[in-house]
């Protein structure tokens, strides 16, 4: 398993981690199998979505903000309940197919670390099995 550190620069953002994950998989030496990318934080997540148009990332962040506003009357007292809910909706991991030493992604797909309570120093984990 590989731990990757990441620093987020705003409260909410999607950061493309595709190239880092590809490098980790290539270094694993596994030609065919599965890779799991996992986020061990309750206010962040991992997703796969379009990587060609950056407006998709901002649309996701904006829509989640409209759907789950920070100003809602939550019971959780830390002021980040919206981030917990957004992270639960996005999810904490993705499973990737590994074939011929690389990941199988669609033409426009990228892997994103999703920050909902930044800026922070974070990490994600990648486990590759054959």
What pLDDT digit, counting tens, does each position of 96-106 carry? 999 999 999 99
Architecture of the domain defined by 2-129: Sandwich (2.60)
**Predicted confidence (pLDDT) per residue in 1-27, tens digit:** 999 999 999 999 999 999 999 999 999
Question: CA-CA distance, 126 to 97, in Å (whole number)?
Answer: 13
Question: CA-CA distance, 16 to 110, in Å (whole number)?
Answer: 7
Give the tokens for residue 27: 């270094």
Residue 6 CB: number of other CB atoms within 10 A?
Answer: 16
Domain ranges of the chain: 2-129
Does the reported pTM lie above 0.85? yes
Question: CA-CA distance, 78 to 89, in Å (whole number)?
Answer: 19
Question: CA-CA distance, 13 to 101, in Å (whole number)?
Answer: 29
Q: Minimal CA–CA distance to 65: which of 9, 15, 121, 115?
A: 115
């Amino acid at each position: 398993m590989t731990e990757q550190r990441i620093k987020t620069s705003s409260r909410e953002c999607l950061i493309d981690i595709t190239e880092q994950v590809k490098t980790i998989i290539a270094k694993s030496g596994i030609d065919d199998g599965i890779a799991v990318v996992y986020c061990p934080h309750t206010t962040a997540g991992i997703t796969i979505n379009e990587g060609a148009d950056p407006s998709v990332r901002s649309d996701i962040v904006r829509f989640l903000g409209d759907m789950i506003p920070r100003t809602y009357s939550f019971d959780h007292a830390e002021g980040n309940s919206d981030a917990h809910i957004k992270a639960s909706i996005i999810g904490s991991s993705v499973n990737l197919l590994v074939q011929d030493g690389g990941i199988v992604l669609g033409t426009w797909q990228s892997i994103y670390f999703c920050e909902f309570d930044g800026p922070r120093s974070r990490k994600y984990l990648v486990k590759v099995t054959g």
